[in-house]
């Protein structure tokens, strides 16, 4: 860390970049942290930034990152980048050049080379850099990861991971056809990498954080017909809606990882099963995020499962602010974001060539 850490008693002043649907979560989490203040927000749609600032009691609204950095300068310590995916890189690079700590939304970039550029820039700036893989905030994934690292289930042999959403098959989150907030996610021309880039990154992080990195992927992607001419207004609906990955882990385990926006009945469900030589761990967010189940020890031979309660864990925003205060790196960082991006690039190559790709 080149940039000196902030003293414990000093406030950490954060700005929000992009004031769309995810931005309120950032503000709510930051203001809940003692000594953390949200001092400004900006959006290319200035009126949106103004309304957002008014609603969340943020003193200053701007229409561009440049204006905000020029006006606020030293009054901002850190930023949250909450724009649509293709703008993460230019916005983050601009803020890194200005020496700001950056928490960037996922996916870190739109491809691995861009993610590497962001990592290099963050290292050069000597600031804290994190990517918002939000499911790290769940106690179950942290506790299960520790259990696996302790060797509780032995050597990993098999992994089953899925992230299912329903918003294309229902109106559970409103009508996607009339909301630009959903439409850009369906259009490669608007920078979307489909369900794989949107929530596939989450399940890849969720599965490989406890089970270890991947060695090979064989991926199938599918885009389903959704509207006449597969177009709504300026949005060409060509991004993938379902992704199915056959994977091999570096530790030799095999796995299946899949994700879709077309699974009615599951608004937002993450499920993960990791089986080892001494037992199996299972998590299902529709059951609990504060406990997981395991079958091991005396229960193994009877196929008996027990619930394992988990201690609360700090969320990504708390970890980001703590890292700024301590000067020690925060996790998950841009290196992790880039690692996941590399898997994404391999998935697109595999789908295109219809064959497995080594990582
Ligand atoms: N971590 C999570 O669980 C999670 C959940 C939802 C969304 N996200 C991510 O958050 C990001 C934003 O998603 P959203 O649903 O809020 O999108 P959104 O479309 O609702 O909002 C994005 C906002 O960014 C603004 N913007 C675009 N370029 C900008 C720029 N250069 N400077 C300032 N503002 C700019 C847009 O005008 C828009 O208001 C996406 O990358 C998405 O993948 C993450």
> Phi and psi dihedrals of 165, rounded to 5?
-125, 165
Report the separation in Å between the CA atom of 52 and the middle of ligand 1, taken as the mean of its atom positions: 13
The answer for residues whose C-beta is within 8 angstroms of residue 60's C-beta and 6 or more apart is 39, 40, 41, 53, 68, 71, 72
Choose among 352, 147, 343, 149: nearest CA to 259: 343
- Ligand 1, CB within 6 Å, residue ranges: 17-23, 42-45, 48, 65, 82-85, 87, 91, 105-106, 132, 134, 181, 184, 198
88 CA distance to ligand 1 middle (Å): 9
Long-range contacts of residues 87-93, Cβ cutoff 8 Å, at least 24 apart: 87/18, 87/191, 88/118, 89/114, 89/117, 89/118, 91/17, 91/18, 91/65, 92/118, 92/121, 92/122, 93/117, 93/118, 93/121
Residues 153 and 280: beta-carbon distance below 8 Å:
yes
The rounded Å distance from CA 298 to ligand 1 centre is: 48
Give the Å distances, CA to CA, from 174 to 18, 179, 259, 267, 292: 21, 8, 20, 11, 31
Ligand 1 atom with the smallest distance to the CA of 49 is 39
Most informative mutation of 80, 100, 105 for ligand 1 (most atoms within 8 A of CB):
105
- Measured in Å, residue 294 CA sits from the centre of ligand 1 at 37
Give Cβ neighbours of residue 135 (< 8 Å, ≥ 6 apart).
Answer: 141, 202, 205, 206, 270
Distance CA 149, CA 325 (A): 28
As beta bridge partners, residue 31 has: none
Bond before 288 cis per omega within 30 degrees:
no
- Ligand 1 centroid to 194 CA: how many Å? 15
Query: Could you tell me the pTM of the whole model?
Result: 0.96
Ligand 1 mean position, distance from CA 42 (Å): 12
Query: If you write DSSP's letter for every residue of 34-45 in order, what string do you get?
Result: TTEEEEEEE-SS
Task: Name the residue of 82, 91, 136, 184 whose CB sits within 8 Å of the most ligand 1 atoms, as the mutation to test its pocket.
Answer: 82
Q: Are strands 235-236 and 231-232 parallel, antiparallel or unpaired?
A: antiparallel
Cα 18 to ligand 1 centre (Å): 6
In tens digits, the chain (359 residues) has pLDDT values of 456 566 666 799 999 999 999 999 999 999 999 999 999 999 999 999 999 999 999 999 999 999 999 999 899 999 999 999 999 999 999 999 999 999 999 999 999 999 999 999 999 999 999 999 999 999 999 999 999 999 999 999 999 999 999 999 999 999 999 998 899 999 999 999 999 999 999 999 999 999 999 999 999 999 999 999 999 999 999 999 999 999 999 999 999 999 999 999 999 999 999 999 999 999 999 999 999 999 999 999 999 999 999 999 999 999 999 999 999 999 999 999 999 999 999 999 999 999 999 99
* CB distance 88 to 111 below 8 Å: no
Residue closest by Cα to atom 28 of ligand 1: 83
The half-sphere exposure of 250 on its side-chain side, counting CA atoms within 13 A, is 10
Atom of ligand 1 nearest to the CA of 180: 19
What is the full DSSP assignment across 111-157?
A: SHHHHHHHHHHHHHHT--EEE--GGGGSHHHHHHHHHHHHTTT-SEE
Q: Which residues contact 349 (CB under 8 A, 6 or more apart)?
A: 357
Asked if residue 49 lies in contact with residue 63, where contact means CB atoms within 8 angstroms, the answer is yes
Backbone angles phi, psi at 71, to 5 degrees: -80, -40
Q: How far is CA 56 from CA 41, 61, 71, 113, 307, in A?
A: 10, 11, 20, 36, 39
* For ligand 1, atom 19: residue with the closest CA: 181
H/E segment holding residue 46: helix 46-55
Ligand 1: distance of its center to the CA of 69 in Å? 19
Return d(Cα 248, Cα 152) in angstroms, integer: 21
Q: Which residues contact 64 (CB under 8 A, 6 or more apart)?
A: 42, 44
From the CA of 86, how far away is ligand 1's center (Å)?
Answer: 10
* Closest atom of ligand 1 to CA, residue 90: 31
Position 73 scores a pLDDT of 84
* Residue 181: predicted pLDDT: 87
């Amino acid at each position: 860390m080149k940039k000196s850490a902030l003293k414990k008693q000093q406030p950490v002043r954060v700005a929000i970049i992009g004031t769309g649907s995810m931005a309120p979560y950032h503000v709510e989490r930051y203001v809940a942290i003692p000594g953390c203040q949200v001092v400004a927000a900006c959006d290319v749609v200035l009126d949106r930034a103004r309304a957002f600032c008014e609603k969340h009691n943020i003193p200053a609204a701007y229409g561009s990152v440049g204006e905000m950095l020029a006006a606020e300068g030293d009054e901002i310590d850190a930023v949250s980048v909450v724009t649509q995916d293709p703008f993460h890189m230019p916005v983050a690079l601009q803020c890194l050049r200005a020496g700001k700590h950056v928490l960037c939304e996922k996916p870190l970039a739109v491809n691995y080379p861009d993610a590497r550029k962001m990592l290099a820039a963050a290292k050069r700036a000597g600031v804290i850099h994190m990517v918002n893989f939000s499911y790290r905030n769940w106690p179950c994934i942290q506790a299960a990861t520790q259990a696996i690292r302790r060797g509780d289930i032995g050597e990993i042999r098999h992994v089953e991971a899925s992230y299912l959403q329903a918003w294309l098959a229902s109106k559970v989150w409103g009508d996607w056809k009339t909301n630009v907030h959903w439409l850009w996610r369906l259009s490669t021309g608007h920078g979307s990498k489909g369900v794989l880039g949107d929530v596939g990154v989450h399940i890849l992080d969720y599965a490989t954080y406890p089970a270890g990195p991947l060695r090979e992927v064989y991926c199938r992607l599918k885009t389903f017909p959704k509207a006449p001419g597969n177009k709504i207004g300026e949005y060409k609906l060509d991004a993938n809606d379902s992704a199915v990955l056959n994977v091999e882990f570096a530790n030799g385990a095999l796995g299946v990882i899949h994700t879709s926006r077309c699974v009615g009945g599951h608004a937002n469900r993450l499920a993960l099963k990791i089986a080892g030589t001494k037992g199996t761990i299972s998590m299902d967010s529709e059951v609990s995020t504060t406990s997981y189940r395991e079958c091991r020890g005396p229960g193994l031979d009877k196929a008996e499962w027990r619930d394992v309660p988990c201690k609360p864990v700090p969320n990504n925003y708390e970890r980001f602010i703590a890292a700024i205060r301590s000067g020690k790196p925060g996790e998950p960082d841009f290196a992790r974001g880039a690692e996941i991006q590399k898997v994404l690039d391999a998935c697109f190559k595999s789908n295109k060539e219809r064959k497995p790709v080594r990582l």
